[in-house]
Structure 1
């Protein structure tokens, strides 16, 4: 308790907390886009519950990983070497998560272009809603693991104080929980945004694979590209709405 009080009186600790919260929120955008797209494929009455469960699992997983910080740090230690490149457990987790994101985004793009072909849809509607719901939660849990490991290792690299990490993670996940519903509804009402978001997931998946292979990709470039693409799409949406209004006015 005394250590926490000392931290609260340290300006450097507050700066670290604010910086880490911002970093955690930014890192959570990837996860949030995936959850929004995935839950929008569920029946309307199940979507909100799936989002809450998915984000709740992310919080539980990150807090559990924070409890094993010493073990998490060891995940960066090399396990084996291939052609001069060292691979750690973190690298293998990032590569697996990246491959999954690339596969999932590619499948979703294929189904968006050819909606009649749903034979291989991993979470296509089956005979029961429960199977679909369970499959969606399973995929969310898988990506939660990847993003949680990356998030916690980032937190460990920014501050040695566990209370700061816990507060930052809780605040960031709370922001995700608040933003999940509006983001999912926005994506649902604007079909063109779905394709853009799937493109983001492809880029994020490729970035994860590159990071796992030892090629550092500055996150600033990735998020700048995402922001620029989103801005262009917003301008397109405004243009389409203006055309609709002009067309309605002429009639």
Structure 2
């Protein structure tokens, strides 16, 4: 208890907490986009429940991983080497998650381009059941949670700060999930842009797994610029309709 009080009175701890919250929220954007796109495939009455459940799973994963920091640290230890490239469990998880994200986004783009075709796999519109959607959210929650917690461990050694930052970040995601999903649903061109983001994020995860580290700032700057251009296009379309 005394250690918590000392931590509470330490200005550096508050700075670390604020920084980590911002980092966790930013790192949660890709997770949020994925959840929004998937839950929009469900019937209207099931969407909110699926978003809350899916993001709650993300919180459970993150808190469970925080409780096993020693295990998380071991995930970055090399387990084998191929052509002088060492791979850890984290690398393998990132590669698998990236491949899944690329495959999923590609299937969704294909369906958007050919809506008359029905997809019998997990990637198409045919999959609208709650269980199938939650299963896919579960897979990506695990990948994003591991990346998020490893980032948190690298930023601060204090477990209470990590826990608070994770809870606040997921709370922000829960608050933003429904407005984002409605915005994506109301603007079909945004769907394609969001799927492009998922493709890019998937490739970044794969590259990271192979030891090629792309600074996240570059990725989010590119996403922000693309979103800004699309917003200008939306305003231009609305003005043309009025004219």
Into which bin does the TM-score normalised by the smaller protein fall? over 0.9
Contact 2:24 2:148 in 1 (8 A): yes
1:105 aligned onto 2:102: no
Contact 2:79 2:88 in 1 (8 A): yes
Structure 2 match to 1:249: none
* 1:53-202 alignment, distance < 5 Å: 53-122=53-122, 124-125=125-126, 132-202=129-199
1-structure distance, mates of 2:186, 2:113:
18
Which of these residues, 229, 233, 236, is aligned with residue 232 of structure 1?
229
* 1:41-60 alignment, distance < 5 Å: 41-60=41-60
| Residue 120 of structure 1: how far off its partner (Å) | 2.8
Q: Deviations over 1:49-75 (max 9, x none)?
A: 000000000001100000001100110
| Residue 121 of structure 1: how far off its partner (Å) | 4.1
| Residue 119 of structure 1: how far off its partner (Å) | 2.9
Structure 2 match to 1:4: 4
Contact 2:119 2:126 in 1 (8 A): no
1:17 aligned onto 2:14: no
Instruction: Please give the root-mean-square deviation of Cα atoms over the aligned residues, in Å.
Output: 0.9
**Greater Rg by CA:** 1
2-structure distance, mates of 1:206, 1:81:
21
1-structure distance, mates of 2:79, 2:94:
14
Q: Deviations over 1:164-200 (max 9, x none)?
A: 0000000000000000000000000000000000000
| Residue 117 of structure 1: how far off its partner (Å) | 1.1
TM-score (norm 2): 0.98
Q: Deviations over 1:214-248 (max 9, x none)?
A: 001000110010000000000000000000111xx
SS at match of 1:118: coil
2-structure distance, mates of 1:5, 1:134:
44
Task: Give the count of matched residue pairs.
Answer: 242
1:241 aligned onto 2:238: yes
Moved over 6 A (4+): none
SS at match of 2:28: helix
2-structure distance, mates of 1:112, 1:4:
52
Q: Deviations over 1:82-128 (max 9, x none)?
A: 000000000000000000000000000000000011133416446xx
Contact 2:31 2:141 in 1 (8 A): yes
TM-score (norm 1): 0.95
